[in-house]
A and B are shown apart, each in its own frame.
Chain A
């Protein structure tokens, strides 16, 4: 099955700085790459996603890039704010008819220091 690796496991940045989280995947057939944010004790929530036919996607301060050749994708958060502090998970899946299981990375705990 798919294997997703995520780095770093923890990340601390000063408020206003940028944060970058990187993931790699193993199955070249994977074509959907979402990112989830999980606050302490709460459910993961989708913050942005990208499909394999797109190289980059941006939504305000959040952007995701995808390099299909290298099989890696990254989350970029600019102008970080204290409320960005959370655990972030990347994931990969093959979307097709039937079940489409998301395989998650191990998470990155982001701390934004005021």
Chain B
């Protein structure tokens, strides 16, 4: 069966520090991968998606970036965090060629101080 792993679970970082969140999927090949952010008490905002290695698309302009160095690995990064980057970050995957059946990772709660 397929599983999705996301880490770390919580993170407190100072303003201006770098960020790296990692997500991996097991049990499937060539998944679609997604990064979402959820601000406190708010909805889910799509940040990045990827349909294959090295293929990254951004939905919103920001100081975050994403990379997909391996088929089942998706990384969210920032060179310098802002206070507004605080939130609950969720990685998700869906079977290739279809968006149905999204499965979310357990999330990373990021607090920028």
Contact = CB atoms under 8 A, between A and B. Distances in A.
Interface of A: 1, 32, 34, 41-46, 49, 51, 89, 93-107
Contacts of A1: 59
B106 A97 contact: no
Interface stretch (B11-19, B69-77, B78-86, B91-99): B91-99
A95 B43 contact: no
A51 B46 CA distance: 21
Contacts of A96: 97-98
B101 interface: yes
B57 interface: yes
Interface string B30-53: 001010000000111110011100
A73 B103 CA distance: 21
A33 to B, nearest CB: 10
B101 A46 contact: yes
Contact of B43 (A34, A41, A89, A94): A89
A101 B59 contact: yes
Contact of A89 (B44, B46, B57, B59): B44
Contact of B102 (A41, A46, A51, A105): A46
11 contacts: A1-B59, A49-B100, A89-B44, A93-B99, A95-B100, A96-B98, A99-B57, A100-B98, A100-B99, A101-B34, A102-B46
Contact of A45 (B32, B42, B49, B104): B104
Nearest to B34: A101
Given A96-B97, A99-B99, 10 more contacts: A34-B100, A95-B98, A98-B51, A99-B32, A99-B57, A100-B32, A100-B99, A102-B102, A105-B43, A107-B42
